[in-house]
Chains A and B, each alone.
Chain A
Amino acid sequence: MGVRRRVGGFVLLVNPILCDGFGHCAELAPDLVHVDEWGYPIITTEPVALSNLAALESARYAVRGCPRQALRIERVHDAQ
């Protein structure tokens, strides 16, 4: 239990094998995810700073809300 310094960033990654295009992630994290015309997510590849708590929370909601468990958050240490 300690205060974790919010350095670095994260990226939201999708496993395209598992993804079935439910589109929940685009509703839960609209700043990070867009859907193409078939409903598959197109996720921004640029790391988002971990200090962006709103984006991090929305990404966590997207991971939790995915009906196929196709999303995960990966930390990137050299953000920006």
Chain B
Amino acid sequence: MIALTSPYLWYTTRATGLVTLVLFTLVVSLGTLVANRVGGTTVGRFELNELHRTIAAVACTFLAIHVLTTVVDSYVATGPFASVVPFVSSYKRLPVALGTIALDLMLAVWASSLLKARIANASWRFIHWFSWLAFAIAVVHALLAGTDARTGIGLVVVIVCVAAVAGAGAWRFMARPTRAAGRTALSPLGAEPESRPGRPTSPPRTDPTRAATSPRMSAPAPTRANAQPAPRRDAPAPAPDASPFPRRPRPGRSR
């Protein structure tokens, strides 16, 4: 058991801790990009989503290494259950407990994402909000328990990560793409609802049925609509084709 007493496990713990922080910063930022519907032109939206998922897997791997080396290492006595049960570590009880809580939250997010196809999407989204809380707790854990996070490059890394995630969170909160408004504003295709040049199913301005029933066009005008014989007063009700609400051909849309 030479390896358990050597300092390399401890170095691994410290290094993977910082790397995990950077990776989860990337994950949270990318998730914000996906949620705010960034992409679609130079980079696909689905590509950002795939990147979010893939980097999340890498980050979880580094988190697992971080936790395992901490538990196995004999330099700090945390105990076997301190990785999942908070406040049982004998070494730095509160800082380690914060990391444990963040880990448990991340486990919930991870499990819900693995079970995404089997649980309700609303449940998955609710659990996914925990990741913000987990990140905040993890940063406090890094500052309290971390050996390198309070000085030098480590502090710079932590500050940059916190700034990135705080900015992402503020943007997520302010943009808040709700169902209709956010989609219309952010969709690259629906920016201007009044001018739809490429819309094949919209009735043209010179629609004969619309022109004949429009109040503004009640006076005889030299349009094609008036070229056909006007209906007599004693004529029966107009044909269904002359309805003021012309039937548009519906596009092939699945239910």
Contact = CB atoms under 8 A, between A and B. Distances in A.
A43 B179 contact: no
A20 interface: yes
A9 interface: no
Given A24-B45, A27-B46, A35 B189 contact: yes
Contact size range, B:
20 to 34
Nearest to B37: A22
Contacts of B180: 38
Contacts of A36: 189-190, 251
A50 interface: no
Contacts of B229: none
Interface in B35-75: 35, 37, 40, 44-46, 49-50
B34 A67 contact: yes
B57 to A, nearest CB: 14
Contact of A39 (B116, B121, B190, B199): B190
Contacts of B172: none
B254 A12 contact: yes
A36 B252 CA distance: 11
Contacts of B49: 24, 65, 67
Contact of A38 (B46, B190, B252): B190
B187 interface: yes
Nearest to A25: B46
A67 B183 CA distance: 14
Q: Which of A13, A21, A36 has the most CB of B within 10 A?
A: A21
Interface in A27-80: 27-28, 35-39, 42-46, 61, 65, 67-70
A11 B252 CA distance: 13
Given A21-B187, A27-B40, A42 B45 contact: no
B239 to A, nearest CB: 30
A48 B124 CA distance: 31
A45 B252 contact: yes
Interface string B26-37: 000000001101
A13 B254 CA distance: 6
B255 A13 contact: yes
Contacts of A46: 252
Given A13-B255, A37-B190, A68-B121, A23 B40 contact: yes
8 contacts: A13-B254, A16-B255, A21-B179, A21-B187, A28-B46, A35-B187, A44-B254, A67-B35
